[in-house]
Amino acid sequence: MRDSKPITTARLREMKAAGERIAMVTGYDYPFARLLDAADIDVILVGDSVGVVVAGYPSTIPVTVDEMIYHGRAVVRGTERALVVIDMPFMSYQVSIADAKRQAGRIMQATGCTAVKLEGGVAMAPTIRALVEIGIPVLGHIGLTPQAVNQLGGYKVQREKERLLADAKAVADAGAFGVVIECVPADIAAEITNAVNVPTIGIGAGPGCDGQVLVLHDMLGLCERFRPSFVKQYADLAPTIRKALGTYRDEVKAGTFPGPEHSFS
C-alpha cells in the first residue's frame, strides 16, 4: 500500500536509521515529475545536470539560477509526495555566504522546493551552516563535484580517502540533512556512510550508501551521449522515440495522418 505522506528531511533520517534505502532520480520538467512521483521515487533532484542533458551545454558550469528556477517550478508543480531538492548552480553560492543566502532563498521562494543542494566539503561547511541556521535545508555533494571539473582535471573517480571522510563529516556537522557521494570507490563510500549520521546518496559510489541517485536521461536511455559505466540503463527510449517520430513523418508525407478519427466534421 502506497504511503502518500510527503517525504521530509526527517523521514530520510528515519530511513537511514531503519536501513531503508532512499531512491533519488533527477527531474527537470512537469511530465517527468509526475511520473517520478507516481513511481514513489523518494527524492527528485532538479540537478544542474539539466544544463548538459536538456540544454546541451558541455558542462554544468553555464547553468544559471534563473534556469534552475524555471525547471524547479515545473517539477514542484508535478510533485505531491517526493521531496524536491534544487541544485544551486556554479557561482551562486561560492563567492560569499550573503550571496548563498540570497540565491538559496530566491530558489526556495520562487519554486516552492524543500531544499537546495550545493557542491563541496570542508570549504563549503560555513556556507551550509549559514543556510541551515536561517531555515534552508541543504543536501551536500562531495567526491566528484562537476562544477569543479576544470580544477579536478576531468570527470575522474575520487580516491583520497582522508579528504573524502573529512569532507563528508564537515558537511554533516554543518547541518546538511544528507550528502551525495559521486564517483568514489565503493569501500570508501561505505566507510563514509558508517561514519556520518546523515543519509548518504551515492552515484558511482557502490551499494554501501544509504540511497542512490541517477540522472533521469541516462537511466532511461533518453540521450545517447557518453554513458558512464556506473549508470544502469533501465529503458532504451531514444530508439522508441525516433521510431515514433519517423512513423509520424511518413504518415504526414503520405497524407495518411490525420485520418477521419483525428479530424472534425
Which of the residues are catalytic? 182
Residue numbers at the binding site for ligand KIV (CB under 6 A): 26, 45, 47-49, 87, 141, 180, 182, 203, 213, 215
Minimum distance, C-beta of residue 237 to ligand KIV, in the bound complex (Å): 18
Q: Measured from the CB of residue 186, what is the shortest distance to ligand KIV in angstroms?
A: 17
Q: Among 67, 69, 35, which Cα is nearest to 54's?
A: 67
CB nearer ligand KIV, residue 67 or residue 87:
87
Of 30 and 57, the one with the shorter C-beta distance to ligand KIV is: 57
For the chain, what is the largest distance between any 2 Cα atoms, rounded to a whole number of angstroms? Answer: 73
211-214/178-182 β-pairing: unpaired
Which of 71/141 has CB closer to ligand KIV?
A: 141
Pick from 111, 182, 114, 178: nearest CA to 149: 182
Peptide bond into 199 cis (omega under 30): no
Q: Closer to ligand KIV by CB, 37 or 182: give it.
A: 182
Minimum distance from CB of 251 to ligand KIV (Å)? 37
Residues 160 and 179 sit within 8 Å (Cβ to Cβ): no
Alpha helices in the chain (DSSP H): 9-18, 30-38, 50-53, 65-77, 97-111, 125-133, 149-152, 161-173, 186-195, 216-219, 237-254
**Cα–Cα distance, 122 to 13 (Å, whole number):** 22
CA nearest neighbour of 111 among 88, 93, 145? 88
**Residue tagged 519517423 (cell numbers):** 246
Nearest to 118 by CA among 134, 133, 110, 136: 136
Smallest separation, CB 53 to ligand KIV (Å): 8
Question: Closer to ligand KIV at the Cβ: 228 or 246?
Answer: 228
- Tell the smallest beta-carbon distance from residue 46 to ligand KIV (Å): 8
Q: Which residue is nearest to ligand KIV (CB)?
A: 47
